[in-house]
């Protein structure tokens, strides 16, 4: 429709299909020019406007800004369709537009503490990532180098043990092995058909980063007494990560330059087989633990969990420092539980047989073995 200003003037046209939406603040004064008298709206959103509304408006369109009276708050001109507070101090600002801080000392302290905890959390995650993954990469590389050096020395006819790993060799002065040198390979079939780790001399942190380490005061493979080996459970190669999976009767095979030594985990094999038939998982696990903990005729258990200071577990007769060794044993130690060093998980095994190495033939306890 078309409307003319009283007294002459421009002609304004409003589209009838678009409802008029008044965006102006109710306290705004009218424009300096009088608006035409339009019919009162008969419903909300009608395109008709009340007198003094300042002319036709369109939905979604900004008001035609024209200077009017000075704003009392800012001293500048006011415009139709613009809220009167625009240009003045906003919420949270004082005179002159200076923002007042709403933070109390307590809030600032809490924010700082939160940022500190977040930073510590990120650093901790990075450290754990290094310990669990990055250190494993470095350790696996060192282990591969040690194994390659050992295989090369065997191929050249060199034996680091100098033939002192004969079965039932009485306890005597140990052969001098340089710290960190590999001298035997350790196979545990229950931990994987391709599980093999080269054992190095020494149990310091530096040596254990290269692989399982031989306790220097314990016996050698095949000797009467106790061939004791330590290894990390988590990080740095984690060779004994799943040592708790060993059960009574499981085979552990040690390879030297001249012989294969097959050890069997101690404990009650019959009790383990009976426990393995239980349907309830909790009862089965408890029965398996009891089978492993059952001592043999010399009081040696298949598995035990001890304090780190319990060094007698690597004696020639474990936990019996005054006893005389009459058989060849193997002891594996690692941290317990996983991701903790509060205790030690200890597994004992007894030598069941030894066979000379013949070319590339493997003992029957290993996959593809025939001897």
pTM of the model: 0.67
The enclosing domain of 229 has a CATH number of 2.40.260.10
Residue 102 within a domain? no
pLDDT at 119: 84
Taking only the tens place, the pLDDT of each residue in 4-56 is 444 444 444 444 444 444 444 445 444 455 555 544 445 444 444 555 444 44
For residue 205, pLDDT over 60 is answered with yes
Asked, for residue 165, whether it belongs to a domain, the answer is yes
**Whether residue 153 is found in the same domain as residue 239:** yes
Per residue in 160-196, pLDDT tens?
A: 998 777 655 556 556 789 999 999 999 999 999 999 9
Same domain, yes or no, for 144 and 16? no
Confidence class for position 337, pLDDT limits 50, 70, 90: very high
Nearest 5°: the CA angle 60, 50, 8 is 95
The answer on pLDDT for 3 being more than 60 is no
Full residue range of the structural domain in which residue 21 is found = 1-51
Query: How do residues 44-83 score in pLDDT, each as one tens digit?
Result: 444 445 554 444 454 444 444 444 444 444 445 555 554 5
Beta bridge partners of 200: 182, 213
CA torsion sign for 220, 221, 227, 233 is: positive
- Does residue 109 surpass a pLDDT of 60? yes
**Has residue 154 got a pLDDT over 80?**
yes
Q: Which helix (H) or strand (E) holds 123?
A: helix 105-129
Q: How remote is the C-alpha of 16 from its chain's centroid?
A: 67
In angstroms, the CA 106 to CA 184 distance is 63
User: Looking at the structure, do residues 343 and 255 belong to the same domain, yes or no?
Assistant: yes
In a shared domain, residues 45 and 144:
no
């Amino acid at each position: 429709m078309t409307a003319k200003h009283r007294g002459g003037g421009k002609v304004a046209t409003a589209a009838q299909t678009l409802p008029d939406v008044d965006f102006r603040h109710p306290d705004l004064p009218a424009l300096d020019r009088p608006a035409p008298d339009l019919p009162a709206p008969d419903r909300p959103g009608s395109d008709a406007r009340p007198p003094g509304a300042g002319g036709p408006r369109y939905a979604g369109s900004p008001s035609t800004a024209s200077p009017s009276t000075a704003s009392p708050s800012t001293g500048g001109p006011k415009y139709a369709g613009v809220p009167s507070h625009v240009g003045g101090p906003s919420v949270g600002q004082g005179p002159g537009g200076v923002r007042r801080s709403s933070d109390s000392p307590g809030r600032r302290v809490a924010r700082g503490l939160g940022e500190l905890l977040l930073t510590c959390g990120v650093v901790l995650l990075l450290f754990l990532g290094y310990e669990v993954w990055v250190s494993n990469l470095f350790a696996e590389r060192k282990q591969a180098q040690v194994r390659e050096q050992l295989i090369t020395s065997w191929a050249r006819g060199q034996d680091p043990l100098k033939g002192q790993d004969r079965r039932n060799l009485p306890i005597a002065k140990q052969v001098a092995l340089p710290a960190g040198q590999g001298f035997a390979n350790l196979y545990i079939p229950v931990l994987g058909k391709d599980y093999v780790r080269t054992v190095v001399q020494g149990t310091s942190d530096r040596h254990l980063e290269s692989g399982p380490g031989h306790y220097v005061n314990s016996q050698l493979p095949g000797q009467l007494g106790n061939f004791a080996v330590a290894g990390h459970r988590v990080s740095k190669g984690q060779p004994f990560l799943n040592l708790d999976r060993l059960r009574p009767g499981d085979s552990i095979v040690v390879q030297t330059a001249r012989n294969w030594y097959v050890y069997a985990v101690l404990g009650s094999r019959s009790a383990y087989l009976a426990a393995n038939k239980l349907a309830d998982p909790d009862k089965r696990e408890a029965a398996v633990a009891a089978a492993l903990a059952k001592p043999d005729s010399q009081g040696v258990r298949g598995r035990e969990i001890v304090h780190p200071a319990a060094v007698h577990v690597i004696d020639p007769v474990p936990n019996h420092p005054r006893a005389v060794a009459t058989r060849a044993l193997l002891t594996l130690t690692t941290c317990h539980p996983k991701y903790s060093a509060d205790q030690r998980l200890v597994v004992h095994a007894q030598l069941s047989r030894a066979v000379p190495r013949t070319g590339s033939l493997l003992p029957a306890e290993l996959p593809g073995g025939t001897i």
